[in-house]
């Protein structure tokens, strides 16, 4: 930034040097991609597991995506639970849904569970689900 500082019109320039001591993050002991894919065909009006992921002992899980779709959205309801906390229940979709998270960390033994059910025992629904993430440690 130039500053006119002297009466004779001399321009002084101020320079600032910033030195940042940024530590390089350690490389994790082990990082593994997680891809859980499954299909469930059901006419049950009780929730049925479509797909799940349980974080391995001694690991930290990082959730990235949960996706779901059905061949009959009118008669399908979804429930999603992450680390024992119900995210939603009895959700009817109009099309496939992909939920993305900016990397929430899950503890060892935490479970991500996608479930679905039919609204009518006379109607069989086919539901696909997938969970994408990684385990570090």
Name the pLDDT band for 18 (thresholds 50, 70, 90): low
Q: Which of 48, 93, 49 is nearest to 69 (CA)?
A: 93
Average pLDDT over residues 52-62: 96
Rounded to whole angstroms, the Cα distance separating 86 from 113 reads 9
pLDDT for 50 equals 98
The model's pTM: 0.79
Whether 25 and 86 have beta carbons less than 8 Å apart is answered as no
Instruction: For the chain, give the mean pLDDT.
Output: 88
Fold of 30-136: Jelly Rolls (2.60.120)
Whether 114 and 70 have beta carbons less than 8 Å apart is answered as no
């Amino acid at each position: 930034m130039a500053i006119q500082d002297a009466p004779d019109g001399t321009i002084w320039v101020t320079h600032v040097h910033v030195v940042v001591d940024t530590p390089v993050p350690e490389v994790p002991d082990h990082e593994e991609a997680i891809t859980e894919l499954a299909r469930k065909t059901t006419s049950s009006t009780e929730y049925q597991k479509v797909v799940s992921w349980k974080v391995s002992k001694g690991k930290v899980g990082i959730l990235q995506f949960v996706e779901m779709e059905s061949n009959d959205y009118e008669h399908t309801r979804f429930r999603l639970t992450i680390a024992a906390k119900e995210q939603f229940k009895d959700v009817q979709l109009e099309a496939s849904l992909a939920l993305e998270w900016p990397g929430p960390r899950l503890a060892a033994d935490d479970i991500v569970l996608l479930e679905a059910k039919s609204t009518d025992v006379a109607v069989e629904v086919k539901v696909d689900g997938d969970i994408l993430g990684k385990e570090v440690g």
